[in-house]
Structure 1
Amino acid sequence: MEIKDATSSFSALSQPTRLKALRLLLRHEPDGLPAGEIARSLDVPHNTLSAHLTVLAGAGWVSSRRESRSIIYRANLDHMQQVLTFLVSDCCNGDPILCAPLVDALTACSSSSTKEPLP
């Protein structure tokens, strides 16, 4: 990943509704959520949410598929991995002891005590 790609990706997450939408979709992996359910969960008008999801999709954070009359959105975990890898590629000059707390935080996905609740 190049710096320009990373900054574009981070820019997409710099808006609160988009960040909340991504976090919601991450909680619903691998099934994803219909656009209407995302809008209801975040209390955002459908047309506003559509614009936010378009930005997230353009930056690589989400993908969508049509199911009948619904559009189902999913978090793009491959993109997330690329962004995180980009961020930590120079971490601690490769010293695994110094990087251990970061690795532990990334592997603690199943720990509900560290999850910040959605609004």
Structure 2
Amino acid sequence: MEKETLASLTALGHPQRLAIFRLLMRRYPDAVPAGEIGAALSLKPSTASVYLSSLLDAGLITQKRQGTSLLYAIHMTALQRVFDYLLLDCCRGRPEVCSPLSQFTASGVIPMSGEKLSVLFLCTGNSARSIFAEAILRREAGDRFEVYSAGTYPSAEINRFALDVLRQKGHDISGLRAKNAREFTGQGAPAFDFVFTVCNRAANEECPAWEGQPITAHWGMADPVKATGTDAEKSLAFQNAYGTLFNRIKAFSALPLDTLDRMSLQKAIDALSRTKAGETA
């Protein structure tokens, strides 16, 4: 196991390989096309291929073919073995010394940042998906959560089809607006317990280092703003996006947050990324 661990650490010792690894961690459990990885990190296809091969040889990622594309994902089982080795061998089984999770309570349950848990939904434009998520969680469980949304490159205004869907679903849209993620960083920014990305582009970007190490997850989904066709076809795309987020958020708000340890909670939240419109978790 020592040989495998050294190979993993060596592979992560290069800044660009580390950048790929971090991107795939943000996208987990997604499998991401090589072209998308290269584009997100401004890497030539040949260069990205070399770095991906190194991470693959080190056992840190997996590869599968889908049509003509090669898709890559974090090899979580192998990564956990590396962490276990470092903790049990190098740290002599003392998590209070080595593990960043020592910031959490002895029971492993996440601490409350305040009377309510604070949640941020991120996407690129903050004009549809993250706005939907903000509105849904606020209505479904606003008594237990402080809810925010933002965009890494926010639109000037919320998409009109998104507003139509929210009106149809009976949401109060008076306080909704497109916001820049920078509003939620720096002095005076909220301390988040959860940060969710709901679009692939936002997850591919290096987002701010959120204070307090909130639980993060990627709930990637198609962007309804990019839908084409008639107004009815575009409206259907927004309805589907709303339905998918509603199911995920309904399941999230039903989780027993006061009893789950961090690892169990992370696993449950990651699983919700596979829930679609019309499905239950």
Say yes or no: TM over 0.5. Answer: yes
- Residues 91, 99 of structure 1: 8 Å contact kept: no
Match of 2:26 in 1: 27
TM-score, normalising length from structure 1? Answer: 0.80
For residues 102 and 87 of structure 1, the distance between their equivalents in structure 2, rounded to whole angstroms, comes to 13
- Residues 34, 71 of structure 1: 8 Å contact kept: yes
- Residues 17, 52 of structure 1: 8 Å contact kept: yes
Quote the offset at 1:111 in angstroms.
4.4
For residues 18 and 52 of structure 1, the distance between their equivalents in structure 2, rounded to whole angstroms, comes to 6
Match of 2:119 in 1: none
Uncovered stretches (5+) of structure 1, i.e. residues with no partner: none
- Indicate the RMSD between aligned Cα atoms, in angstroms: 2.6
Distance 1:105 1:73, change over 3 A: farther
More RCO (CA 8 Å, sep 6+)? 1
For residues 19 and 100 of structure 2, the distance between their equivalents in structure 1, rounded to whole angstroms, comes to 22
Quote the offset at 1:30 in angstroms.
1.3
Q: How does 1:45-84 map to 2 (within 5 A)?
A: 45-84=44-83
- Residues 66, 72 of structure 1: 8 Å contact kept: yes
Q: 1:102 aligns with which of 86, 100, 103?
A: 100
TM-score, normalising length from structure 2? Answer: 0.36
For residues 103 and 36 of structure 2, the distance between their equivalents in structure 1, rounded to whole angstroms, comes to 29
- Higher helix residue share: 1
Matched, 1:4 2:10: no
Quote the offset at 1:93 in angstroms.
4.7
Larger Rg: 2
For residues 77 and 103 of structure 2, the distance between their equivalents in structure 1, rounded to whole angstroms, comes to 18
Percent sequence identity is 33
Quote the offset at 1:100 in angstroms.
8.6
Uncovered stretches (5+) of structure 2, i.e. residues with no partner: 111-192, 196-209, 215-281
Quote the offset at 1:36 in angstroms.
0.2
Quote the offset at 1:102 in angstroms.
2.9
Quote the offset at 1:99 in angstroms.
4.5
Count, aligned residues: 112
What amino acid sits opposite 1:84 in the alignment? F
Match of 2:218 in 1: none
